[in-house]
Amino acid sequence: MLELRNLPFDPNSNAVVSKEACDYHHGKHHQTYVNNYNNLTKDSELANASLYDVRGSAQGWLFNNAAQVYNHDFYWDCIAKKSDKSSELEAALKSDFKDFKAEFINSATTLFGAGWTWLVYNPNTSKLEIKNTSNAATPVTDGLVPLLLVDVWEHAYYIDSRNARPAYLEKFYENINWDFVSVAYEWAKKEGLKSVKFYIDELHPVASGCCGGGCGCSH
């Protein structure tokens, strides 16, 4: 069973999303992905599996819901508070992009339909890349480590900005929690994809060594 993570900020005073948008996006959309995941895995061998593993092996409807739980978990951290980049991340963005802000916003603006725009670390090249994914897809599937994420499904901006995706993206960009992104970058360089597992396991702990009920643990 997964639980919906708490928002890592006060929804009454977030610079990117209004309280009403949060109530729908976190309280209804994100909650629904958690509920769907729990309904799909209950009474199966996946009931106590880690979200990281299920997201890695599932297909179709279960993958979509597992990935959407993770994607939204990560998105909320990216907009938790406006903060600054580490000097290491600043240097990497300067060396791997001509104009990171313009390229990231352009990628998110031109993503057709529902999806996500990501800054990722590629452990094979040690470089940063911008990726778009459609619907629930996550670049973790391709071995890339997420550092920054913006939700460009219409439900992410329609309440606050109506159809104006660029206005939402500008507000998003000006209030990025670069501190979170910088820490993700540090971990990505050190641990690669394992850093994604650490992140997910911390938000959605799995009982270790769980016996299925015979050892007196709470499961």
x/- string (CB under 5 A) for Mn ion, residues 144-163? -------x-x--x-------
**CA angle at 147 for the pair 32 and 161, rounded to the nearest 5°:** 55
Return the bridge partners of 62, or none.
none
Smallest separation, CB 174 to Mn ion (Å): 20
Q: Which is nearer to Mn ion, 159 or 193 (CB)?
A: 159
> How far is it, in rounded angstroms, from Cα 134 to Cα 138?
8
Q: Which is nearer to Mn ion, 147 or 156 (CB)?
A: 156
Smallest separation, CB 168 to Mn ion (Å): 12
x/- string (CB under 5 A) for Mn ion, residues 93-132? ----------------------------------------
Residues of this chain, 25-84, that bind Mn ion according to CB under 5 A:
none
Angle at which helix 178-191 crosses helix 194-203, to 10 degrees, equals 130
Q: For the chain, list the strands marked E by DSSP.
A: 115-122, 127-134, 145-151
Smallest separation, CB 179 to Mn ion (Å): 22
Sheet of strand 115-122: strand arrangement: 127-134, 115-122, 145-151
Judged by the rule CB under 5 A, the positions of this chain that interact with Mn ion are: 151, 153, 156
